[in-house]
Every structure is written in C-alpha cells, then in structure tokens.
Structure 1
Amino acid sequence: MAVNANTVIGFIGTGVMGKSMAGHLMKAGYRVHIYNRTKEKAQELIDAGAVWNDTVAALAAEADVIITMVGYPKDVEETYLGEGGILLHAKEDAYVIDMTTSSPILAKRIYEEAKKRNIHALDAPVSGGDIGAREARLAIMVGGDKEAFDAMQPIFEKMGTNIIHQGPAGSGQHTKMCNQIAIASGMIGVCEAMVYAKRAGLDPENVLRSISTGAAGSFSLSNLAPRMLKGDFAPGFYIKHFIKDMNIALEAAEEMGMMTPGLKLAKSLYEELAAKGEENSGTQALYKLIDGQI
C-alpha cells in the first residue's frame, strides 16, 4: 500500500504522547480516526477534526493504518488479540503499528497472527517523552518486515526524526529495552548530581550549564534535570510505565543469562517511589527520593 492523501489512519491511545503524535498526523493532512478508553482525553483532537470511534473494532474496520499507543502489554494484547480487537476487524492488507513499549515476545505473536490474516504488523516503540512527541522528533525503533517499514516511512516521519529499522518482529521492542536500561541507571546519576550540587552550596542551574554539554551530557540531564530544579514532577513519562518497562527488560535479560545490576537498583528505587504515592509522577521525581524530600 502506498501512503497518500486518502490514507485513513486510526490512532488508539491519546494520552500524554499519543495526543501529540495523532495531532501531527492530522496537521500533515491525514484523515485520522481515534479511540481512547476515556473519551474526554481525546476531546481536543475531536475538536480539531479527528473522527471518534466508539470501539476498537469500529476504528479497525475504517482504517488503512492503525497505530496504538496504550499502557501495558496486557492492554496491547487485548487491543490486538481480543474478541473486539484489531486483528479480527482490520481490513486485509492493512498496516498495524504498535508504538507502545511492550514485550518483544508479544510483538512476535502479534506479527504472526497478523500475517495469517494478510495484515502487516510492525512493533515501533519510541523514545523522547512528551517533549519529543510534542516536537515531532521522537526516536522510533522498528521491528518487522523491511517492506512494511518502507511503506510506513512517510507516517513515521511525521512523528519522529531518528527512525531506524532494527530487524524482524520484536526487534523494535528489544531496542527499546536497551534504551530503557540506559536511562534507568543514568537517571540515578542525574538525580545524585543535582542533589550533590545543592548540598555543596552550588547553584545547581549553573552546574547544569557546565556539565550538560560535556561528557556527562544526556537527554535526561538536558531535559529532565531542569524540571527537577524547578520542582516540576509532572509526567512526561509516568513512573508506573517506567517500572513496567524495567520489568520487561529484566525478564528478557534473565532469559539471556545477563547481569543487570544498574537496572535492578533503578527498579527498586522507582518501586519505592511508587509505594510512596508517586506512580503517576514523571520519572524525574526520583530526585525527591534522592534528596530526602519523601
């Protein structure tokens, strides 16, 4: 299928990131149908011209390309493989793209089930948080058939700037696990550095200006450390979802017989944060725990 002005895109999951991603597709001129468990969270997109569908099945029947950005692997499984799910109701030759961070094993299962129905499936998790989604500069890591990836490239380009085909089904999810593992330990370092600057009597913002462009530079240091210093712990990415991702990564690493000491430490700290009522805060709220604020 060649993507063109008549391509109908269905978007399921219009939360913190999905809302911006769907919005970019609308601005690009695509006809976009949307579904979200809570309709109120999709109202801004509806007001902007998106077509609301009452069920996943209804959306799947209308769309040529279906993108999902939901919460947990169990949500992905239900959305794709349930009785009212995408694969039972999508058109033949449709493209389905799961952009949720989910299980590589589940991604492979969805791919195989889709193939039986002549549907093209890609797993394409993203990195960049709410900022990357808002500015259409997400990193998009894609698993699945290269032909399907090439066909969907024009759509990916409306949402991201670093778009790489990583290999067969499940490869996108495995790549995202590498991303989350790198972030997990890195976030501990960013929080410790900012608390250290504060306790040493330095101006943390000046410290940040010095270290963010050197060898310590990272997305978290440049984009999330400023939020920490301002006391802004609103979610660009929810702690509860990060814990979910770390659990997936740990399970996969254990299957490969791999040591992950940094990942295990980060998961334990974030679970402590969640137990203290911070599960709906952004990942930068780890600063509060390191600083002894909670």
Structure 2
Amino acid sequence: MLSAKTTTIGFIGTGVMGKSMAKNLINAGYTLRIFTRTKSKADDLLNIGAKWDKDIPTLAKQCDVIITMVGYPSDVEKVYLGDHGLIKHSKEGSYIIDMTTSKPSLAEEIFSVAGKHGLYVLDAPVSGGDIGAENGTLAIMTGGEKKVYDHVFPIFQVLGENISYQGPAGAGQHTKMSNQIAIASNMIGVCESILYAKKAGLDPKKVLATISTGAAASFSLSKLGARMLENDFAPGFYVKHFIKDMKIALESSQEFGLDTPGLRLAIELYEELADMGEQDSGTQALIKNLAYRSEMTL
C-alpha cells in the first residue's frame, strides 16, 4: 500500500479539475511534484507545498506515482509516448495513472508499451466536475490490472468517493464514455425543462427545486441547472472538452455498430454553442444555444 509519508506523487495537468485534485493530495500529506509549461500557473499549489519541475523527464525520475489530467488524446499521447514522455523517463516500477478522458484504444496502447518498460499503468477517468474535484468526491472509473488498482487505492480515496474497478486496460475509458453519453442527452433535457418553465410563466427556481427530488433528479439538473438560473456559465467542465469526449464516444459507438442519435444531436448542439464563442464556458452554457433557437432571453 502507498503511504503518504513515503510516496512522492507527480501531477501533470493542473487545470480546472486537476488543481483541486492536486491540492487534496497535498492536504492528505503526500509529497507532490508538478509540471506546468508556465510556472506562474502553478503558484497556488507551490504556495501550499508542491514542488515544480521544469519538464516531464525531471518530474518522472523523482516520483513513485504519476497522475496525468490533461486535455485531449493528442496531449495524452505526447505526455506518455513522446521522446520526452513518461514511459521513456519514469523509474522502473513506477505507477502511472491517466485520469484524462481519452480514447480507450490509446489507453490499451499505453498499457502495452508501458509494461515493456516495467511500469504499472491505469486508465482512470473521473466524473463530478469542479465541485467533485474540490470536495474529493469524484467518481473514478478504472481500467488496468486489479492488483495495481488495489495498490493505488489509497490515493483514489483522497480524490473520490465512488471508486470502481471496471476491467482491463481501456475499461475505465469505456465506462467514462457511457457516462458522457448519459450526460449528453440529459443536458439537453435540463435546458429544455428550464426554458419550458419560463415560457409557461412559472418560477423556474421553484420548478427546479421540485423536480430535482423526483424521477428527473440528476447532477446536471440540480447542480448545473441551478447555475443556468443564475447565469453562471463559468467552467466546471469546458464545452470544448465535452465536445472532445462526445466525439470519442461517437467514434467508439460506431466501431461497435451502435447507433446513438441522442449523442449525435448533443454534439451538433454543442458545436453550435462553440461556434457562438462559448468553447471555454461550462457545459451548462448549452441553454444559451437553445434559448437562441427559441428567440428567448435568459
């Protein structure tokens, strides 16, 4: 088992969610080293004890466990498989956990290549947004070897609550695709529900409070719906990253021969939203597009 007193963790990707995850690890007593391309962006973490490394090879050589939380599959590929990446520069026997939402096929490739270098790899994407990252209540979906999952489980307990082992390499990413498919159509429904309540002359806050306790209950409804009503479109999870996730899910679905019309519609609506200049907004900004389509003001 990994003790906070003796384990040094490297963290790559301190964005909206990654920064809170890294902070929770520091608060739990782990020695944390981080790599960011711009050092000033890591100031909040450096001020509470994190150490900054100038590049990935420097970080990799000093860590027992390395967690990545980057943006796109192309970033994952570079961080892991590039000439200056983790696989070439990590110590033999290191544990490497990719918590980015990425392609299942890429997770399988990384697992295979890393094993030849004596490294232990898990794909462990998360769900719960900025709130879950801050509170340490993320859902963590894990693929890889069960014995590796069991070994790093104490670290997962710092970051999340609903922590699951789903199967071999790539299974964590496939589980996250199921999650994103469910959210995709749900977000459309949340937006339409709020706009309907407004059109009907109801108090949407009262409506939201009522239906959030019934069969319509969901995180998107109770948490993101509330942000919609406050015109709070700050990113707990970026529109651009959700589009990326949904496209991975669509690609995987097509490989299975699975038709996902709800997912296709969600991609269309979110791409329209991005074209409106909202790519860096939170996913709850979808209501802006649907309001625009209905010639409504928020």
Give the TM-score taking structure 1 as reference length.
0.98
Counting aligned pairs with the same residue, the percent is 62
Residue 113 of structure 2 is matched in structure 1 by 113
Residue 156 of structure 1: aligned partner: 156
Provide the C-alpha distance between the structure 1 equivalents of 2:268 and 2:175, rounded to a whole number of angstroms.
22
Could you tell me how far apart the structure 2 residues matched to 1:226 and 1:41 are?
29
Give the equivalent residue in structure 1 for 2:124: 124
Show the counterpart of 1:195: 195
- Determine the structure 2 residue equivalent to 1:221: 221
Pairs aligned (count): 294
Counterpart position of 2:69: 69
Q: Which amino acid aligns with 1:256?
A: F
Give the aligned partner of residue 231 of structure 2. Answer: 231
| TM-score, normalised relative to structure 2 | 0.97
Whole-angstrom CA distance in 1 between matches of 2:44 and 2:111: 32
Alignment of 1:34-73 (within 5 A): 34-73=34-73
Tell whether the 8 Å contact from 1:13 to 1:37 is kept in structure 2 after alignment: no
Q: Which amino acid aligns with 1:145?
A: E
SS of the equivalent of 2:93 reads coil
Unaligned runs of 5+ in 2: none
TM-superposition CA deviations, 1:180-204 (whole Å, max 9, x none)? 0000000000000001111111000
Per-residue displacement from partner, 1:10-69 (whole Å, max 9, x unpaired)? 000000000000000000100000012232221100111100001011111110000000
Using the TM superposition, give the Cα deviation of residue 4 of structure 1 relative to its aligned residue in structure 2, in angstroms.
Answer: 4.4
Give the C-alpha shift of residue 114 in structure 1.
0.7
Q: Letter of the aligned partner of 1:272 in structure 2?
A: E
Partner residue in 2 for 1:79: 79
Deviation at 1:124, TM superposition (A): 0.2
Query: Which stretches of structure 1, 4 residues or longer, exceed 3 Å deviation after superposition?
Result: 1-4
Q: CA deviation at 1:5?
A: 1.2
Return the letter of the residue paired with 1:246. Answer: M
The answer (yes or no) to whether the contact 1:3–1:151 under 8 Å persists in 2 is no
Q: Which amino acid aligns with 1:238?
A: Y
SS of the residue 1:291 aligns to: helix
Counterpart contact for 2:98–2:124, Cα < 8 Å: yes
Secondary structure of 1:205 counterpart: helix
d(CA) in 2 for partners of 1:2 and 1:102? 26
Which ranges in structure 1 are unaligned for 5 or more consecutive residues?
none
**Distance in structure 1 (CA, Å) of the matches to 2:236 and 2:112:** 33
Give the aligned partner of residue 277 of structure 1.
277
**Does the residue aligned with 1:57 lie in a helix, a strand or coil?**
helix
Alpha-carbon separation, structure 1, partners of 2:232 and 2:174: 31
CA distance in 2, matches of 1:86, 1:52: 16
